[in-house]
């Protein structure tokens, strides 16, 4: 396995692979890898086979964090991540620094952004202004540097995947997107690098996100008529905030492809929610 830290070196390597007609899969991550990330690596390997190449990017992208978010304390462990990637059969780890991804040239600051203006308005986009501008920009840069045939994203970040899919379509990136299923611990909590912030009782309280998704599924599938989104949202909010340290950021019901909000929630709709458990903000989602 090789580790590349230079953007120019990564692009040279990718061009060499393209000249050799070698298929390439990219798994973009912010590091602090867990079993969910490694499941995406396995999907990437299946997609390109051998002698295809699997690239995992390890980069905590500052432009997708707000001013009061956890960019500075976001967990980082490059040595551990490299070891996990090597064991998983990754060919290249791309681990650039900020100066490589957002360079200033002759004193002129980085000033070009990729912005999706429709799917990014609600949910994470409303709660975290500027977040998706950072996501789409860094993903576009990774596509240009790694030149992947395939890119694998996780379904836990459902809105993000939909936005990247729209960007690929609208900007004609020659990349096939694969969405890997959300991976969970045995108790149902969706795997996340931020789960390590959850200590003691906070970890137990965090299970309410998955429980809320399951409650919504039961209510929708058991109803004679599609329930109103406002009623369903209130029911889930009451359930979640019975826990002392849990506070709802949003609960939304929407069409799984267009992300358009629904007033009546029937089977096949999608639910996404964000909840603060203590100071840790967690997300989850599910098909109803």
Q: Tell me, what's the pLDDT at 285?
A: 98
Distances in whole angstroms, Cα of residue 44 to Cα of each of 3, 40, 173:
18, 6, 18
Q: Tell me, what's the pLDDT at 185?
A: 95
Q: Tell me, what's the pLDDT at 107?
A: 76
Return averaged pLDDT per consecutive 10 residues of the chain, 288 residues in all: 98 98 98 96 97 97 92 92 98 97 85 96 96 98 98 98 98 98 96 94 97 97 93 97 97 96 96 97 97
Contact 274, 282 (CB under 8 A): yes
Residue 181 is classified by DSSP as P
Which of 56, 68, 69 lies closest to 95, judged by CA? 56
Q: Tell me, what's the pLDDT at 108?
A: 83
Distances in whole angstroms, Cα of residue 197 to Cα of each of 44, 75, 97, 281:
29, 9, 24, 10
Catalytic residues: 37
* Helices and strands in the chain: count of H runs, count of E runs: 10, 9
Which of 162, 115, 110 lies closest to 134, judged by CA? 115
The pTM assigned to this predicted structure is: 0.95
109: buried, middle or exposed (CB in 10 Å: 19+, 13-18, 0-12)?
exposed
Domains and CATH numbers, the chain: 2-180 (3.40.50.620), 193-287 (3.30.1300.10)
Per residue in 40-97, pLDDT (tens digit) is: 999 999 999 999 999 999 999 999 999 888 888 899 999 999 999 999 999 999 999 9
Q: Tell me, what's the pLDDT at 68?
A: 84
Per residue in 9-21, pLDDT (tens digit) is: 999 999 999 999 9
Rounded CA separation 116/164 (Å): 9
Contact 134, 162 (CB under 8 A): no
Report residue 207 as tokens.
């299970």
Distances in whole angstroms, Cα of residue 148 to Cα of each of 11, 14, 72, 81, 176:
11, 8, 29, 21, 9
Report residue 37 as tokens.
């990330």
Contact residues for 96 (Cβ-Cβ < 8 A; gap 6+): 5, 6, 7, 10, 57, 59
Q: Tell me, what's the pLDDT at 18?
A: 97
């Amino acid at each position: 396995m090789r580790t590349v830290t230079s953007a120019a070196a990564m692009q040279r390597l990718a061009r060499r692979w393209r000249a050799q007609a070698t298929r390439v899969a990219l798994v973009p991550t912010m590091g602090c890898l867990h079993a969910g990330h490694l499941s995406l690596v396995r999907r990437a390997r299946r997609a390109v086979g051998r002698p295809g190449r699997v690239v995992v990017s390890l980069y905590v992208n500052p432009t997708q964090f707000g001013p009061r978010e956890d960019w500075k304390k976001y967990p980082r462990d490059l040595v551990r991540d490299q070891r996990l990637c090597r064991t998983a059969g990754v060919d290249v780890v791309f681990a650039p620094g900020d100066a490589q991804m957002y360079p200033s040239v002759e004193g002129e600051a980085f000033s070009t952004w990729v912005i999706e203006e429709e799917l990014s308005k609600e949910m994470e986009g409303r709660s975290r202004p500027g977040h998706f501008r950072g996501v789409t920009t860094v993903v576009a840069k990774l596509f240009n540097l790694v030149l992947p045939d395939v890119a694998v994203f996780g379904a836990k970040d459902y809105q993000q995947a939909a936005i990247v899919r729209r960007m690929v379509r609208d900007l004609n990136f020659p990349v096939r997107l694969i969405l890997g299923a959300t991976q969970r611990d045995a108790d149902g909590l969706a795997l996340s690098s931020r789960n390590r912030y959850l200590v003691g009782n906070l970890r137990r309280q965090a299970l309410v996100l998955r429980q809320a998704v399951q409650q919504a599924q039961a209510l929708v599938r058991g109803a004679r008529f599609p329930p109103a989104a406002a009623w369903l949202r209130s029911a889930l909010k009451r359930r979640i905030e019975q826990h002392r340290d849990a506070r709802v950021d949003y609960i939304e019901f929407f069409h799984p492809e267009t992300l358009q909000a629904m007033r009546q929630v029937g089977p096949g709709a999608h639910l996404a929610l964000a909840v603060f458990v203590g100071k840790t903000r967690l997300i989850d989602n599910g098909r109803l």
